[in-house]
Amino acid sequence: MQSSKGSPGNTIAALCVINYRRTDAGGDINRIDERLTKVFHGDDVFFDQRSLQPSRRFDVALVEQVRACDVFVALVGPGWMTLSDNGEPRIRREGDHVRGEIAEALKAKVHIIPVLLKGAKMPEQQALPDDIRGFAVIQAHVVYAGHFDEDVNELIRRIRRVFRVPRSAVVAHSCCTVRVGLARRSCGSASTCVYCSADFFVSVLLHAGGPWIPGQGHT
């Protein structure tokens, strides 16, 4: 999955977090991350190898991102249930990062999209630890090797439908600071802000919901 930038007090919450196991999903991880970051702003997609900054505690950063994201993309390969250490499946270990992130996403009630790769199947509910059994009954998105690009394009469309207001689609200005996710931005160009029109306000209201508060954005 991905992380945030800066100190804990200045964390930019990503809208989409990628959850994966390298030895299971392989090179598809980077291909999917590359496609997502081409469509969405880099800060909107959290992928730990690209997003985590030196000196950040990755365990703390990952939990922060999962709790704050809009979409949690869980990559499931053919070895997702069977990869093990000393005979014990990793997914059953309490300290397993994939399990921990999924458990946090379920508790936070964020939108979870399981993505099945390389012919993988969704796990049986009874085969999972109690804290992530809810994952097994979520409708998955399948990415087939034979039409990878088309299937990832459909995944992107599904993510778009969930995002409140992608940061890449909104430029917030000092005269109408828009809250996007958990971040607030201001360009300091109030006198020349072309987005402070009725159309812009209506567009943001329709996509984000909630009342508009001048200087604060949506509640």
Residues 125 and 19 in one domain: yes
Please report which confidence band the pLDDT of residue 100 belongs to, taking 50, 70 and 90 as the band edges. Answer: very high
One-letter identity of residue 99: R
Q: How many other CB atoms sit within 10 Å of the CB of residue 2?
A: 29
DSSP for 91-156, please give it. GGSTT-HHHHHHHHHHHHT-EEEEEEETT--PPPGGGS-GGGGGGGGSPPEEE-GGGHHHHHHHHH
pLDDT digits (tens, 9 = 90+) for 26-50: 899 999 999 999 988 778 899 988 8
Residues 151 and 128 in one domain: yes
Residues 105 and 208 in one domain: no
Residue 23 within a domain: yes
Task: Give the chain's domain count.
Answer: 2
Domain that holds residue 136: 8-162
Residue 1 within a domain: no
Residues 173 and 154 in one domain: no
Please report which confidence band the pLDDT of residue 121 belongs to, taking 50, 70 and 90 as the band edges. Answer: very high
Structure-token pair, residue 133? 């059994």
Residues 191 and 214 in one domain: yes
**pLDDT at 198 exceeding the cut of 50:** no
**pLDDT at 166 exceeding the cut of 80:** no
Residues 132 and 155 in one domain: yes
**pLDDT at 10 exceeding the cut of 90:** no
- Domain end residue (candidates: 162, 190, 208): 162
Greater model confidence, 56 or 2: 56
pLDDT at 137: 97
Residue 214 within a domain: yes
The C-alpha atoms of residue 155 and residue 113 are separated, in whole angstroms, by 9
Residue 181 within a domain: yes
- Give whole-number Cα distances, 197 to 165, 173, 176, 194, 206, in Å: 17, 12, 10, 7, 14
Residues 37 and 112 in one domain: yes
Mean per-residue pLDDT over the chain, rounded? 76
Residue 196 within a domain: yes
The predicted model gives 171-198 an average pLDDT of 38
- Domain end residue (candidates: 146, 162, 178): 162
Helix (H/G/I), strand (E/B), else coil: 51: helix
Greater model confidence, 15 or 146: 146
Measured in whole angstroms, the distance separating CA 3 from the mean position of its chain's CA atoms is 10
**pLDDT at 219 exceeding the cut of 70:** no
pLDDT at 106: 97
Residue 3 within a domain: no
Residue 54 within a domain: yes
Please report which confidence band the pLDDT of residue 8 belongs to, taking 50, 70 and 90 as the band edges. Answer: very low
- Domain end residue (candidates: 120, 146, 162): 162
% of the chain surpassing 90 pLDDT: 48
CATH code of 116's domain: 3.40.50.10140
The C-alpha atoms of residue 195 and residue 149 are separated, in whole angstroms, by 34
pLDDT at 87: 79
Residues 53 and 129 in one domain: yes
Residue 130 within a domain: yes
Structure-token pair, residue 153? 């394009």
Residues 191 and 149 in one domain: no
Residues 79 and 25 in one domain: yes
Residues 115 and 190 in one domain: no
Please report which confidence band the pLDDT of residue 164 belongs to, taking 50, 70 and 90 as the band edges. Answer: low
Residues 92 and 115 in one domain: yes
> What single DSSP character describes residue 195?
T
Whether 143 and 116 have beta carbons less than 8 Å apart is answered as yes
The predicted model gives 175-202 an average pLDDT of 39
